[in-house]
Amino acid sequence: MKPVAFEHATAATLDEARTLLAAGAKPLAGGQSLGPMLNLRLVRPERVVDIKRLPGLRGFTESATHLTLGAATTHAEIEDGRVPDVTNGLMRHVAQGIAYRAVRNRGTLGGSLAHADPAADWPSVMAALGATLLTSDGRRIPADGFLRAPFTTALDAGEIVTAVEIPRLPPGARWGYCKINRKIGEFAKAIGIATPGRLLAGAVEGPPTLLDRVEDIPARLPWLDPAAQRLAAIAVTRAQAMRDA
Ligand SMILES: Cc1cc2nc3c(=O)[nH]c(=O)nc-3n(C[C@H](O)[C@H](O)[C@H](O)COP(=O)(O)OP(=O)(O)OC[C@H]3O[C@@H](n4cnc5c(N)ncnc54)[C@H](O)[C@@H]3O)c2cc1C
């Protein structure tokens, strides 16, 4: 199927984009989810505005405590280490498991978060890391709570994600990530993530869910790989149970 005819605009500045978005234009980043939605006529915008080259959405800044990553950073840039990884390898590991390389070359971190597919990787990972989303309206929205329901976020109409502020994991801190899917590179059927202080079940029916009571977890866990991976496995089992309930 082909999309309903629409106008394609490119914004040179964030202000220009905001004007177009306020008038009802749909933001286009990597197009890896919006493209199929347009083709299937699930969305029928009169105008699409390309935001992926906006200066405010590219690049990164680092501080002692955080990495602030532009929303238009692609999965491939994270996978290749072209942006710093302050999560001791978790983000690179996640990026290389998303779809296949052609999708990763174009798909963006911000697009994935804004699309809010519960089965996607980044909404769960950013919630587990305690990240914060920065928006074109100057708001700071915690990733844990950004996804309100499947394909529904805390963004207001015309508001876009401009960057994601990701806290540094302490040096040496370990993590575990379990993604259950039919084939490598496909969307998850269940996700379990263990990061220091957080255990999360993702790819459940709704928003990623922090697990605050997991009976099997020792109180003081050494963050060694196998232990973290065991925790992630517990979380993924919980995610599957929630999904099947
Ligand atoms: C075959 C295939 C397999 C895939 N497998 C996986 C997978 O295993 N795991 C996974 O996580 N994802 C997967 N994806 C999705 C992929 O990661 C997409 O890149 C991502 O979901 C959307 O990012 P995008 O930059 O392409 O956004 P787009 O397609 O351009 O936009 C998606 C939606 O978000 C809006 N949007 C885009 N950017 C912003 C922004 N900055 N602020 C506000 N709104 C915005 C758009 O208006 C649109 O509604 C897969 C996709 C395909 C095609």
Dump pLDDT digits (tens) for 40-94: 999 999 999 999 999 889 999 999 999 999 999 999 999 999 999 999 999 999 9
CA 222–ligand 1 middle distance (angstroms): 35
Sign of CA dihedral 105, 50, 45, 21: positive
For residue 75, what are the CA distances in angstroms to 50, 143, 169, 210? 18, 18, 20, 24
Residue-wise pLDDT for 3-29, tens only, equals 888 999 999 999 999 999 999 999 999
Average pLDDT score, the chain = 90
Residue 11 in contact with ligand 1 by CB distance below 6 A: no
> 76 and 96 in contact (C-beta within 8 Å)?
no
Domains identified in the chain and CATH numbers: 7-50 (3.30.43.10), 57-167 (3.30.465.10), 176-244 (no CATH)
56: Cβ–Cβ under 8 A, 6 or more apart, which residues? 14, 70, 162, 163
Residue closest via CA to ligand 1's atom 33 equals 115
Residue 30 CB less than 6 A away from ligand 1: yes
- Picking from 199, 196, 164, 197, the residue whose alpha carbon sits closest to that of residue 178 is 199
pLDDT value of position 223? 56
Q: Is the CB of 26 under 6 A from ligand 1?
A: yes
Distance between CA atoms of 60 and 53, rounded to whole angstroms? 14
Q: What is the 3-state composition of the chain as percent helix, strand, coil, each rounded to the nearest 5?
A: 30, 25, 45
Alpha helices in 82-215 (DSSP H): 90-96, 101-106, 109-115, 121-129
Fill in the amino acid letter for 172: G
Cα–Cα distance measured from residue 194 to residue 192, given in angstroms and rounded to the nearest whole number: 7
By DSSP bridging, strand 7-10 and strand 47-50 are: parallel
Does residue 231 surpass a pLDDT of 90?
no
Kindly report the protein residue whose alpha carbon is nearest to atom 51 of ligand 1: 32
Residue with tokens 């005819």: 5
Give distance in angstroms: CA of 27 to centre of ligand 1. Answer: 11
199 Cβ closer than 6 Å to some ligand 1 atom: no
The model carries a pTM of 0.93
